[in-house]
Structure 1
């Protein structure tokens, strides 16, 4: 089944068969905050997800596809106040600017911000929950980035 130049696959990707390689640049930290290994973890999860869910080969440069990402926000905000004007929940949000370049089809190029968050009870500190929340947020961001670049639903 071919629709235009897109090819359907059971992994959910709609990548053209002429696309063979991808360069995933190391994620850059463009804001303060977050665990020391945040950019490394994010980069590795992106690479792993593309390798597992596409037939694209990773290439250090000059690939058919290019993915550049910068973490532009690592924010803790109060959510839903209690009757005593204290936050009942806190929200950890990670925002990432992504630049995607398709060397074979410039119409698919974009620069876009992705964000995702997880809430946690105000009785807990960020340092208590960061280790469990950050991986969940990164997993969802990776999925959202993948969907916009490889699945394009």
Structure 2
């Protein structure tokens, strides 16, 4: 009986120590318990890709701003926010996929690549510079101009989700 109580007390102490050490940085939802960041800034993402979609820079920049506004309680600043997002669009390309008979492709893939420099001015060790890429496939019988806008919007949504998860959600 004494051994059992001693074992139970030891387990409780170890568990309490583990939980308290984990809670210093993370709680059970995976987010930080004490949020130092109050503001964010999203700088314009210029298009430096070889193939240029004239609306892509504006669309991506606005979608990232809107996502941060909708899904966080952070306030947007035009510059010098606690969290800063900057970078450039480095890739915008169409490639044939699913090659069939007579070297014809059944699908075409639109891929967008964005280089992001994320700066956390409150917790600098969380800052990084990284490339994010996403794509959508479409039937090669369709003209690019008929699907480009819709596909770009879908890819931008994927990219902003990935960037949000890598920064704010801290996954």
Could you say which residue in structure 1 is the equivalent of 2:9?
none
What is the CA RMSD across the aligned residues, in angstroms?
Answer: 2.0
TM-superposed CA distance for 1:18, in Å, is 1.2
Match of 1:4 in 2: 24
Instruction: Give secondary structure in 2 for the equivalent of 1:139.
Output: helix
Q: Alpha-carbon deviation of 1:116?
A: 0.4
- Report how far residue 28 of structure 1 moved: 1.2
Q: Which has the higher helix share?
A: 2
Q: 1:96 to 1:13 in 2, by over 3 A?
A: farther
Say which of 78, 87, 91 aligns to 1:69. Answer: 87
Unmatched 5+ residue regions in structure 1? none
Q: Within 1, Cα distance between the matches of 2:28 and 2:51?
A: 40
Residue 92 of structure 2 aligns to a residue in which SS?
strand
Q: 1:33 aligns with which of 46, 51, 69?
A: 51
Which has more strand, going by share of residues? 1
Mark the runs of 5 or more structure 2 residues left unpaired by the alignment: 1-18
Cα distance in 1 between the residues matched to 2:157 and 2:27? 25
1:48 alignment partner, SS class: helix
Runs of 4 or more consecutive aligned structure 1 residues displaced over 6 Å after TM superposition? none
Q: Aligned pair in 2 of structure 1 residues 141, 16: CA closer, same or farther (>3 Å)?
A: farther
Contact in 2 for aligned 1:67/1:101 (Cα 8 Å): yes
Hey, what's the Cα distance between the residues in 2 that align with 1:118 and 1:91?
Answer: 6
Give the TM-score of the pair, scaled to structure 2. Answer: 0.81
Q: Distance in 2 between matches of 1:13 and 1:125?
A: 44
Rounded Cα–Cα distance in structure 2 between residues aligned with 1:15 and 1:71: 34
Corresponding residue for 2:10?
none
Q: Which of 54, 62, 85 matches 1:44? A: 62
Q: What is the TM-score of this pair, normalised by structure 1?
A: 0.90
Preserved contact between residue 41 and residue 83 of structure 2 (Cα < 8 Å): yes
